[in-house]
Amino acid sequence: MDKNHFLRTSASFIGKVRAVIPDLELPLPVWQYREAEYLAPKNTRYLTEWRSIQQGEIWTGSTAFFKSTITVDESFRDHCTQLIFDNMGESLVYINGTPRQGLDINRKMVTITDRAVPGESFEILVESTLQWQKSAHAAHLGQEYGPHIFKKAALVAINPSIASFVADVDFLYEYYLQFEERNVAELIDYVHQHVQPFSPRPELLIQINEVTEYLKLHFFTGKHGEMPTLQGIGHSHLDLAYLWPAKETVRKCARTFSNMLQLLEKYPTFHFTQSQPILYQLCKQYYPELYQQIKEYIRQGRWEVVGGMYVESDCNIPSGESLIRQFLYGQKFLKEEFGEISDICWLPDTFGYSAALPQIFQKCGIRYFYTFKLQKNTVNEFPYNLFTWEGIDGSKVISVLDPFSGYDGKMELPDLCMGLKKYHQKNNYPQIMYLFGYGDGGGGTTPEMIEKIERLNKAPGPVNLSMGTAHEFFERINQTKTDLPNWQGELYFEWHQGTYTSQAQIKHANRKLEFLYRDVEILMSLSGYDAQKHQKIHEGWELILFNQFHDILPGSCLTEGRQEAMEKYKTAFEIGQNLCDQTLTRLFPASTRNSEAPKQIVAVNTFSFSRSEYIEAAGIPAGALITDLTTRSSVACQRLRNGHVLFTAKDIPSFGYKVFQIQVQNTECPSQTGDGLLFESPEEYWLENRILKVLLSKSTGNIVSILDKENQREILNGQGNYFELFSEVHDFYDAWNINEQTLKNPQIMNTVSAFNILENGPLLATVEIVRNFGQSQIRQVISFTAETRRIDFETEISWAETEKLLKVAFDLDVYATKATYDIAYGNIERSTRNNTSWEQAQYEVSAHKWADLSENDFGVALLNDCKYGYDIKNNKMRLTLLKAPRYPDKTCDMGTHHFRYALLIHSGGWRAARVDREGYCFNDPLLITYMDKNSQPGIKTCDSFVQLHGDGVFLETLKHCEDNSGDLLIRIYENHGSLRKIAIELKKLSAAKVFECDMLENKLWEIPFSNEVIKTTLKPYEIKTLRLSQHA
C-alpha cells in the first residue's frame, strides 16, 4: 500500500466520520467579550467594557474574557451535554463561578452537565490567554504569531458509539503504520468497505456497530493474561517559568489541575502523578475549590504527590544547603497538608545531577529517583534505564532514566515501541514506567490517551500497559533490586552547558543570597530565638528556592521571567540585609553597619575556622591608630584613595569576633608610608611581595609571569588572565547550549585602552586595566596584598554583544591528569584529558566556589564569587564569564556586570593548602559593624561562640529548627574524603540534649554530650545534622 495514498485516504475517511460524532449540536455564535491585562494572580486590570463578539472575529491582548448564559434546550434532555469552545488560546472555563476545566490546542470540549435538564441555565465564563510557547517559538523562528480567532462555540451531545469507533479506527491506522502487517491492512479495507460516512444516520449507526464487533473478534482480542510491559503514569510537567512568566504558571496550574480532576471523576482506573509542592501551595492560595478536590483524591490514593523538592530545581548551581532546603521546605509542606512526605525525587527536565544528591536524597526521606534528561546526551548514550546511583559518600538510590522520547508521552505507538526497544534492563526487569500527558506548559493527560490504553491492551503487539502510581513501580523494583547495575558519581548532562553561565545577574544574586542567609541564620542562632524573624527568613528562603527552578536559575526563561526573578531577589535581599543589621545590633548593642566617626570596629567571622583578612573600614579620621584589643598592639594599615583605611585583622576566631579600637593620634597609623608592592619597567608592571612576583605586560594587559619565590617555580606556561571572545555557533537553544565548535576559534584580547595605578602601598597595590571591544568594555582592577598567595581580579563588564561567549584563561605550568571542582557539599575530580568520548563530552563543566589543578606538592586554584562554568583541559584553566544569547530572552545579560575571581597559588595539594577554606573566605568576607562607644557591657574584646575541631570538616549551617521549638540545628560535612573524629565546643550555645537527625530535622538518636562538647565521627564526604534540644 502506497504510504502517502494511505495517509490521505485514512485522513479523509476518519475526518468524515468524526464530523458526525455529535448527536446534537447547538451553535453559540455570539458571546460577550472584554480585554484585560493579567498583572498577577487574582489581580486583573480590565481594559475594555463588555461587548459582543461573534464566531470568526479576532480577539487581541494577552488576556481576554468570554461569557455567556447557556440555557439547556428541550432536545438535550437527559443527554450528557458538552461545550465545544475554540478561540485558539489557552483558557480556563468557569461554570457558575467555579473553575471546571482548561481548554487548549489538545482539548476543546468541557462537560457542562452529565444529564441535561431542559430550562436549566449555566453561567459560563472563559478566561483566555495566548499560547505562550507557540508565541515564543514563532518569534525565535522569525515567524508571526498569528491572530487569535474565535473559531467556534457550540453545545453538543456526543454519540458514544461513533466516538468509540473513531478511536478504534484511529488506532488501527496507527498500528498499521508502525508494523505494516498485511492482516491489519485487510482490516482497514474491511472498515472502509462496510462504513459509509454519508449514509443516513440510522444506517450509519448500524454499520459502525457491526464493524466495531468485527474488530473485537479479529483485532481487539486481548493479551490473555500477559504481564504488563509498561506502568502507565498520568503526568504533567509544569515549568514554573520558561517561555512564559511565573505569574502565568499560576493559571497554567489551575487549567492543568482542573483537567486532571475531570479525568479522575470520569475514569475510575486513572491515576495522576504531580510533583512540586510549590504548585500545590499556589493552588491552595488562588484556587481553593480545586485544592480541596485534589486533597480528596490524594486521600483516596489516586492523585500521587511526588518530588519532595519545593520546586524541580536546577542541581548544578544551588549550594548543598539550598538543595537540602528544597527538600526541607517541600517535604514540610507535603507533611502538613497531606499527612506524608514523598519518597520519590522527580526531576525529569533538570540539566544534570550533582554527585552529592544521593546522600541528600536519603537523608531527606527520598528512596527513589526519576529523570529523563540524560536521554538527550549529545555524545554518549547513558548505559542504564534502571540502576542504583551512588554518590560521592557511597549513598545509593534506586533510579530510573526514562527510555522514551520524553516525560510527556502522547500514548503513541512509535514512541512506546521505541522506548521498549531502548530499555536496557528489560531482560531482568520486564516492566518500565511510561509517563503520559502534555507537559512543559502543562495541560496533562487527555481522555483520548486514557481510552487508547484499553485498545493497546486488547490489540496484538508488544505494548501492554497498566495504570498506577510511580511509588507502586519503584516498590516492585525495590523488592528485587539485587542485580541492578550501579553508576557512581555525577550524572553529567552532555548538553545545555550554557546554563552554567546564561543570565549572570540571576546567578550572582543566588550566590550572594546563599551566603547572606547563611550568615543571618548563624547570627540569629547566636542572638536567641525570635519567632517573627524566623518567619521572615522563611519567606526569604521561599523566594530563593522558587528562583532555583530549572529554567530560572540556569537562565533559560523569557525576559519577563528574568524580571520577575530579580524582583524576588530584591525582596529576599531586603529581608536578609534587614535581619543581618538587626541581629548584629542585638549581638553588639549600639553598633551600626555604617558610622561617620566610629570608636570601635567589630570583625565577625561566621565560619568554623579562624581567619585573617584585610578589612576596609570607613569613617576612620586622619591620624588614627587602630589597635587589636586582644594584644593591645596597633595593626598595620593603609589609607586608600577613597578615604577608607585598610588594616590587618588577624586570627578572628571561628563563629566569633574581635574588637579593634580606633584612637586619634598625631601621626598616621603604622605602615601608612613605606615601599609599595607595585613596580614599573618600560614594558611591564610587576606586583611583588615576599611570596610572589607577578608581571603584567603593558601592551596586552595580560600576566606574562607568576613566580612563586618560596618554591622557586614559574606558574605560567604561556600567559595568564587573558580574555577569549568566541563567536557562538548558532543553536536554536541559544541560552542553553555551548556548541563545542564555538570553542575552537577564540579571539584573544591583546589590546589595552587604559592602564591606571590606583593603589600602591605596603599592604595593597591595585592596578586598573580597561579594554574596549565590540560594543562592550572590561574594566578590571587587579589587587595584590602584602601577605598573599592570591591575585584578585575585580571585574566590571559593560556587555552589549550578540551570540558571543567570554572566558578568562590561564596557561599553567602544572601537570595533572585530573582537576578537582567544588560542588554542593563536596568536591569531584574530572579528567583534564580527552581519551574517551565521556571525557571529550565534558568540554564545559560546572563548579561552585573553586576549581583546582594540583600536582602532588603544588597547585593552582581559580576561585570565583558567582560563576559556575569551567573547563580545564591539559594545563589550560578557564572560567566562563558571560554569554550573549538572544533566545528566549532577547536582552539576556545586556548591561553591566560586577564579579570577582582570583588565582591562588599554593604549596601541597588542594587539601593541604586548604583551598576549600579560601573559597569560603573569598565568597564571604568578614562582617563589619561599628560601635560609637569605647566599650559595651558584656562584649569581650575577642570571643568565639562555637568551635569545631577537625580538619577538612566544615560547620556549614547553624539555624533554628523549622518547628518553632527554639531548638538549634547544626549541619557539618567532611570535605577531604577521610574518616574524621571531630569535636564541637558549644562555648556560648546551650543544649539540654543533642540528637543526630535527618535533614528534615527529625530526631534519630541521642548523641553523648558532656561539658558542652559534642563528639562524633564523619565518614568521607558525610553530611551530618545535629539537633540541639533546648528541653531535657
Residue (of 1007, 143, 1010, 93) closest to 1027 by Cα position:
1007
The whole-number pLDDT of residue 593 equals 79
**DSSP H or E segment with residue 904:** strand 895-907
Residue 933 has pLDDT above 80, yes or no: no
pLDDT in tens, 457-512: 999 989 999 999 999 999 999 998 778 999 999 999 999 999 999 999 999 999 99
Rg (CA), the chain: 33
Q: What is the pLDDT of residue 749?
A: 96
CB 867 within 8 A of CB 901: yes
Kindly state the cell numbers that stand for 487.
Answer: 553508576
pLDDT > 90? residue 720: yes
Please list, in sequence order, all residues whose beta carbon lies within 8 angstroms of the beta carbon of residue 625, skipping any fewer than 6 positions away: 634, 662, 663, 664, 665, 669
Q: Are residues 521 and 396 in the same domain?
A: no
Mean pLDDT of the chain: 96
C-alpha cell at 960: 533554628
Instruction: Report the DSSP pairing between strands 368-371 and 344-346.
Output: parallel
Q: Are residues 251 and 277 in the same domain?
A: yes
Q: Last residue of a domain, which of 158, 173, 191? A: 158
Burial of 962-1000, coded b for 16+ CB within 10 Å and e otherwise, reads beeebbbbbbbbbbbeeebebebbbbebebeebbebbbb
* Number of alpha carbons in the 13 Å side-chain half-sphere of residue 11: 6
Do 501 and 374 lie in one domain? The reply is no
Q: Which three-class secondary structure state does DSSP give residue 77?
A: coil
Span 919-946, average pLDDT: 90
- Report how far residue 959's alpha carbon sits from residue 519's, in angstroms, rounded to the nearest whole number: 10
Amino acid at 261: L
Closest CA to 327 of 318, 487, 1027: 318
Predicted confidence (pLDDT) per residue in 620-650, tens digit: 998 889 999 999 999 999 999 999 999 999 9
Using the 3D structure, point to which of 905, 931, 957 is the last residue of a domain. 931
Q: Tell me how far apart the alpha carbons of residues 460 and 938 are, in angstroms, rounded to a whole number.
A: 83
| Residue 878 placed within a domain | yes
Residue 478 lies inside a defined structural domain of this protein: yes
Q: Please give the pLDDT value at position 589.
A: 86
Q: Do 880 and 854 meet the contact criterion of CB atoms below 8 Å apart?
A: no
Place of cell 527520598: 366
CA-to-CA distance for 241 and 251, rounded, in angstroms? 12
> What DSSP element (H or E) covers 261?
helix 246-266
Q: Is residue 290 part of a domain?
A: yes
Q: Is the pLDDT of residue 673 over 60?
A: no
702 shares a domain with 841: yes
Rounded Cα gap, residues 938 and 619, in angstroms: 25
- Answer whether residue 940 is part of any domain: no
Q: Examine the domain organization and report whether 182 and 150 are in the same domain.
A: no
Are residues 485 and 601 both part of a single domain? Answer: no
- The pLDDT value recorded for residue 228 is 84
Task: Say yes or no: 785 and 813 in one domain.
Answer: yes
Q: Please state the domain count of the chain.
A: 7
What is the percent of the chain with per-residue pLDDT over 90, rounded to a whole number? Answer: 93
pLDDT at 260: 98
State the Cα–Cα distance between residues 110 and 259, nearest whole angstrom.
9
Cα distance between residue 119 and residue 72, in whole Å: 5
Does 583 fall in a domain? yes
Residues making up the chain, counted from first to last? 1032
- Please check whether residue 937 lies inside any domain of the structure: no
pLDDT mean over 859-876: 98
- What's the one-letter identity of residue 709? K
Q: How far apart are CA 983 and CA 890, in angstroms?
A: 53
Q: Do both 402 and 338 map to the same domain? A: yes
Domain boundary among 442, 471, 495: 495
Q: Residue 75 carries which DSSP code?
A: G
Alpha-carbon distance of 446 to 260, in angstroms, equals: 8
Grid coordinates given for 37: 491585562
Say how far apart CA 505 and CA 536 lie, in whole Å.
24
| Whether residues 888 and 789 fall in one domain | yes
pLDDT of 670 over the 60 cut: no
Taking 80 as the threshold, does the pLDDT of residue 672 lie above it?
no
Cis peptide before 888 (omega within 30 of 0): yes
Alpha carbon distance 800, 777 (integer Å):
9
H/E segment holding residue 457: helix 447-458
Q: Look up residue 833 and give its DSSP letter.
A: S
Q: Which of 448, 56, 317 is nearest to 846 (CA)?
A: 317
Between the alpha carbon of residue 153 and those of residues 26, 55, 313, 465, 1032, the distances in Å are 9, 7, 40, 36, 68
Instruction: Name the residue type at position 956.
Output: E
**The dihedral of CA 501, 504, 509, 511: what is its sign?**
positive
Q: What are phi and psi of 919, to 5 degrees?
A: -60, -40
Q: Rounded to 5 degrees, what angle do the CA atoms 338, 302, 364 make?
A: 45
Report which residue type is found at 738: I
Residue 243's alpha-carbon distances to 131, 239, 246, 548, 1008, in angstroms, are: 10, 9, 9, 16, 53
Q: Given phi > 0 = left and psi -120 to 50 = alpha, else beta, which region is 753?
A: alpha
- pLDDT value at position 674? 58
- 624: domain CATH number? 2.60.40.1180
Q: How far apart (Å, rounded) are the C-alpha atoms in residues 879 and 868? A: 8
Please state, as a whole number, how many other Cβ atoms lie within 10 Å of the Cβ of residue 703: 25
Cα–Cα–Cα angle for 309, 312, 315, rounded to 5 degrees: 90
pLDDT at 554: 98
Helix axes 201-218, 160-179, angle to 10 degrees: 40
| Local confidence band at 224 (pLDDT 50, 70, 90 cut-offs) | confident
Q: Are residue 1020 and residue 1032 in the same domain, yes or no?
A: yes
Give yes or no for residue 828 having a pLDDT over 80.
Answer: yes
Q: How many CB atoms lie within 10 A of CB 197?
A: 17
Quickly count: other Cβ atoms within 10 Å of residue 531's Cβ.
10
For residue 232, report the phi and psi dihedrals to the nearest 5 degrees: -80, 130
- Which pLDDT value is given to residue 666? 59
- The secondary element (H helix, E strand) that includes residue 472 is helix 470-479
Domain carrying residue 153: 22-158
Rounded to 5 degrees, what angle do the CA atoms 839, 367, 486 make?
Answer: 35
Q: What is the pLDDT of residue 889?
A: 97
Pairwise CA distance, residues 386 & 400, whole Å = 5
Residue 33 belongs to a domain with what CATH number?
2.60.120.260
Residue 397's pLDDT band (cuts 50, 70, 90): very high
Answer whether 369's CB lies under 8 Å from 386's CB.
no
Q: Look at residue 398 and tell me whether its pLDDT is greater than 60.
A: yes
User: What confidence category does residue 668 fall into, taking pLDDT thresholds of 50, 70 and 90?
Assistant: low
Residues 718, 723: Cα–Cα separation, whole Å: 13
Domain assignment present for residue 271? The answer is yes
Q: How much is the average pLDDT of 411-420?
A: 96
Nearest to 501, CA basis, from 776, 782, 902, 845 = 845
Are both 321 and 444 inside the same structural domain? yes
Whole-angstrom Cα distance, residue 828 to residue 844?
A: 14
CATH of residue 547: 1.20.1270.50
Confidence of residue 604 (pLDDT cuts 50, 70, 90): very high
Q: Rounded to an integer, what distance in angstroms lies between the CA atom of residue 9 and that of residue 581?
A: 75
According to DSSP, the β-strands at 465-467 and 869-873 are: unpaired
In terms of domains, do 235 and 133 share one?
no
For range 770-793, the mean pLDDT: 97
So what's the pLDDT on residue 1?
66
Is residue 936 situated within a structural domain?
A: no
Q: Please name every residue paired with 772 in a beta bridge, in sequence order, or none if there are none.
A: 777
Q: Which three cell numbers stand for residue 5?
A: 495514498
358 residue type, one letter: P
Instruction: Answer yes or no: is pLDDT of 223 > 90.
Output: no
Q: What is the pLDDT of residue 667?
A: 60
Give the position of cell 546551650: 990
- Neighbouring residues of 736: CB distance < 8 A, sequence distance ≥ 6: 351, 495, 496, 498, 499, 502, 554, 556
Task: Tell me the pLDDT band of 935, cut-offs 50, 70 and 90.
Answer: low
Amino acid at 937: P
**Minimal CA–CA distance to 395: which of 345, 464, 441?**
345
* Whether 84 contacts 153, CB under 8 Å: yes
Cα angle: 41, vertex 46, 48; to 5 degrees: 155
- Consecutive H or E run containing 90: strand 90-95
Cell 598592639 -> residue:
633
Res 596: pLDDT = 74
Q: What confidence score (pLDDT) does residue 592 get?
A: 81
Calculate what percentage of the chain has a pLDDT beyond 70: 99
Q: Let me know: does 168 contact 455? Beta carbons within 8 Å.
A: yes
| pTM for this predicted structure | 0.97
